[in-house]
Amino acid sequence: LSYRTHASAHRCTIYIISQIHFRTNMKSAIIATIIGSAAAFAPAPVAKTTTSLNAFEDELGAQPPLGFFDPFGMLSGDVTQERFDRLRYVEIKHGRICQLAFLGQVVTRGGLHLPGDIDYSGDSFDSFPNGVAALFGPDSIPTAGLVQIVAFIGWLECAFMRDVEGTGNEHVGDFRNGYIDFGWDDFDEEEKLSKRAIELNNGRAAMMGILGLMVHEELGGTLPVVGDM
């Protein structure tokens, strides 16, 4: 009898302990579920990232009436200063090229050409058409002439039109490289910023201008100052 009583007591003890563990685990699971559900509706932490607008809205070129204008989103997201400087470098160089191109269009269409002949066959410079037609088409300059133009531009690009480190250049697009000045060092900081802004705006206008001239050349007609297209 004592053996059966002991066995029954042992089984009761095991059952009570198992129920305690079960209820404890259930309570823990319920609490964990509640906490997880609350965390799901809690506001997510906001990452501290520097937006392009805040980082570059005061850069040179962000001026009225458009201010900071980035329609293609090239500076969206977490953009470094190196990325901005690279884009500004490209913008300045394209602007300078387009200023020369627009001026060349106006000058040649005004009747001013280089004297002499362009080749040994006796073809003069003014015997070739103006604008894009001088490069492409039945009356364009010879292929050897195009090769010389490309080679000359490549030589300028490699030898002069680049920023040499350690030569005292002050900003992106400064190609003085220690041997060209034209009075720049005599300007104060405010005047330097003004000159840079003028060049930047003129370059932007020239990019639109030369594109417009190329389109009108294909469409034909007459433009003020430029003349017949």
Q: What is the pLDDT of residues 202-226, one digit of tens each?
A: 999 999 999 999 998 888 878 777 7
Across 142-146, average pLDDT: 89
**Res 86 pLDDT > 80:** yes
Across 36-64, average pLDDT: 56
Q: What is the mean pLDDT of the chain?
A: 78
> What span, in angstroms and rounded, lies between the C-alpha atoms of 101 and 13?
98
Which tokens go with 131?
Answer: 């604008």
Across 137-161, average pLDDT: 90
Residue with the bigger pLDDT between 42 and 111: it is 111
**Res 13 pLDDT > 80:** no
Which tokens go with 105?
Answer: 């269009």
Smallest CA-to-CA distance from 173 within 195, 145, 151 is with 195
**Res 80 pLDDT > 70:** yes
Residue found by looking up tokens 């330097």 in the block? 192
pLDDT value of position 164: 81
CB 175 within 8 A of CB 163: yes
